[in-house]
Amino acid sequence: MKVAVRPQRIMVRGNGSYLWDHEGTRYLDFVQGWAVNALGHAPPEIAAALQAQAQMLLTASPAFHNAPQLSFALELTRAAGLAQVHFTNSGAEANEAALKLARKWGRLNRGGAHQVITTQGSFHGRTLALMAASGKPGWDALFPPVMPGFLKVPYGDVAAVAAQIGPETVAVMVEPIQGEAGVVVPPEGYLRDLRRLCDQHGILLICDEVQTGMGRTGTLFAFEHDQVKPDILTLGKGLGGGVPISAVLANERTSCFVPGDQGGTYNGNPLMVAVARSVFAVVSHSEFLATVRARAHYLQQRLGSLCAQRGIGLRGRGLLWALVLPEPTAEAIVARCFADGLLINAPRPNLLRLMPSLRVSEVEIDELARRLVVALDHGAD
């Protein structure tokens, strides 16, 4: 089905920061499956985990425990400082589970409260519920009727959130940094203020870290930047490093699912969880995260100099950045980059987004800068 506009090239092989198509053309990949390939293309850790687990057990069905799931559940909840985790298959599925958990908690603890406050420009997934929750312009007209129960406020505005809280409010759902909106970074202390507000009103804070989690912003979880903890946390993309796995985590007071409330045929299957454990073993290491921060600083410096010379805005954190163009020429620049062997993303007509492997090297960042300069200077020709 025609659900995406794709170039007439077939990608056949990847290694680290590079992709090759069926004609042998090599591309420097600063999209990495939309921040999915945390360790780059075809990392040996994932290949080893797949081979080892595939020889033991693919799945025993969600009706049984499996060893990788139990081990990783313990590791992940400890790292996040939360009590329980349910593994799912995609970021959307994790966010859907988070909403279900919040609404059940509201029924049990807040008199049936069910409304969730989200933000304008947010992106939480493509299910009907999550399209209603998201603040992406135009989505409310695609598949009516729109599911009720979501109130949207400007991103980064804590006062606007406070003004919407009422007896039917059960949670605030927010991205620590808005990814699909073009790497929108909120004011300093935004999550900390939301945490305080939610505590004052006795409602839940849900952090959607499908894109920002797993080291992407320089810490294992982006909420660590504000030194807070959400009640519910969702992870995806980089969690599996390229395989389909996601997770919803919750603290003790919020973990109210009982058998029958949530599930899925492939949820927590040992093959995918074994891969996620192998990725986590690398990404959660303090020395690895220190290297991510060092590469992030280097990338910011290189981007900052070329943007300043051309009157281009720059925003982001860690290894997630956006260039804010003065004109709506992003698609033309992306096309120019593609023709020159560089993969970047245009989430908006005037925005370019960069999401490299967390293992990106300074040499590869230099290569990005050289090719980006050419595209920025000639991309709209």
What are the b/e assignments for 289-317, b being 16+ CB within 10 Å?
bebbbebbeebbebbeebbeeeebebebb
Pick the catalytic residue from 30, 72, 87, 123: 123
Q: What local confidence, expressed as pLDDT, does residue 29 receive? A: 98
Give the CA distances from residue 217 to residues 131, 157, 211, in Å, rounded to whole numbers and listed in that order.
Answer: 25, 21, 9
Which of the residues 72, 87, 193, 208 is marked catalytic? Answer: 208
Alpha carbons 268 and 177: distance in angstroms, whole number: 27
The active-site residue out of 104, 193, 223, 237 is 237
Could you confirm whether 100 is annotated as catalytic?
no
Domains of the chain by start residue, with CATH? 11-30+286-378 (3.90.1150.10), 44-283 (3.40.640.10)
Any idea which residue has 């200077």 for tokens?
377
Let me know if 2 is a catalytic residue: no
Tokens 């980006």 sit at which residue?
A: 372
Give the start-end residues of each E strand in the chain. Answer: 11-15, 18-21, 26-29, 84-88, 115-119, 150-153, 169-174, 204-209, 232-235, 246-250, 313-317, 320-324, 342-343, 345-348, 351-354
According to the model, what pLDDT value does residue 378 have? 82
Q: Is 123 a catalytic residue?
A: yes
pLDDT of the residue at 381: 52
Evaluate whether 358 touches 318 at the Cβ level (below 8 Å): no
Tens of pLDDT along the chain (381 residues) come to 999 889 999 999 999 999 999 999 999 999 999 999 999 999 999 999 999 999 999 999 999 999 999 999 999 999 999 999 999 999 999 999 999 999 999 999 999 999 999 999 999 999 999 999 999 999 989 999 999 999 999 999 999 999 999 999 999 999 999 999 999 999 999 999 999 999 999 999 999 999 999 999 999 999 999 999 999 999 999 999 999 999 999 999 999 999 999 999 999 999 999 999 999 999 999 999 999 999 999 999 999 999 999 999 999 999 999 999 999 999 999 999 999 999 999 999 999 999 999 999 999 999 999 999 999 988 545
